[in-house]
Every structure is written in C-alpha cells, then in structure tokens.
C-alpha cells in the first residue's frame, strides 16, 4: 500500500497553502481528495486538476470508495490525503487504512459549527468524530502551515 505522508482536514481542499507549503514540505507525489460533493462535480474536479502540478497525480473519490482505492495503490506512492470533514478519515480508519497523524488545517464557521481554536470551528458531531479518530491511536493536531507549531487537540475537546 502507498505511504500516507499527510492527512489534512480542510474545507478548501486544494488551495495556496496546500500547494505552496504542504506539498513541498511532505514530498507527496499523489494527492487524494476524499469528498462526496467534489467527486460528483465534474467542473470542480477539472478546476482542481488545473491547480495541481503535472508531475503530481490527483484522484478524487467518494468517501465509500476511497479506502479500497488507497489500499490498492503502489508502494512508491506518497499520498497527501485531503478531506473537508473528519468523518472521511474516520471511515478510512474503520476500513483498515492506517493513519498515524491527521492535521486540521481549516474548518470554517457555519451554522452547525462553533469556534473552538482561533479560526477553527467544529460541530458537536465533528468533535465526537475527533474523539473516535483518536481512539484508533491516530494523533490529531491543529497545524495550519508547516513552519508553525502543531497544537494537540485533546484539551480543546473537553
């Protein structure tokens, strides 16, 4: 199976910070977006493809197909996994994909979410999902850009 070099929760998925800071920092050669809405929208998928350098492979999966696809990927693949919601990563963990660490990079406010750390917001359900992710032995941190310090999530879930 491919090596996961970064798993990131971010509402924006592919954007400037991801492409200019995280991609070179982790040395990924394959970006995997896990998001039902994005996977169903051919226009958004084409825009994302244009945003990724040619030498970087991009795949966009519905949540229910991501785990099987990742498990079949070649060993030389260095994966950057991107999802909008924590449930996408919980689903991977529950279907056998091992994730040592997941970072939260951007979860913006909306009517269901409340702020819990600077500009990071989460709903009650998302906070419960964070706890389930950590119960799998996966480290969960807030880490906006590589040259900033990562912040552990545990104390913000109380």
| Domain made up of 3-157: CATH architecture | 3-Layer(aba) Sandwich (3.40)
pTM: 0.95
Show me where the domains of the chain are located.
3-157
The pLDDT score that the predictor gives to residue 154 is: 85
Contact 109, 122 (CB under 8 A): no
Residues 30-85 have pLDDT tens digits of 999 999 999 999 999 999 999 999 999 999 999 999 999 999 999 999 999 999 99
The pLDDT score that the predictor gives to residue 158 is: 73
């Amino acid at each position: 199976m491919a090596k996961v070099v970064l798993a990131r929760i971010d509402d924006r998925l592919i954007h400037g910070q991801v492409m200019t800071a995280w991609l070179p920092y982790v040395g990924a050669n394959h970006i995997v977006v896990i998001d039902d809405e994005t996977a169903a929208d051919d226009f958004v998928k084409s825009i994302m493809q244009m945003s990724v350098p040619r030498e970087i492979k991009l795949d966009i999966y519905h949540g229910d197909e991501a785990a099987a696809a990742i498990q079949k990927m070649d060993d030389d693949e260095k994966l950057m996994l991107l999802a909008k919601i924590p449930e996408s990563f919980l689903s991977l963990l529950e279907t056998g994909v091992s994730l040592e660490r997941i970072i939260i990079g951007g979860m913006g406010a909306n009517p269901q979410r409340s702020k819990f750390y600077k500009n990071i917001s989460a709903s009650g359900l998302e906070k419960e999902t964070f706890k389930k992710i950590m119960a799998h032995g996966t480290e969960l941190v807030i880490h906006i850009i590589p040259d900033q310090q990562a912040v552990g999530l545990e104390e913000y879930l109380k």
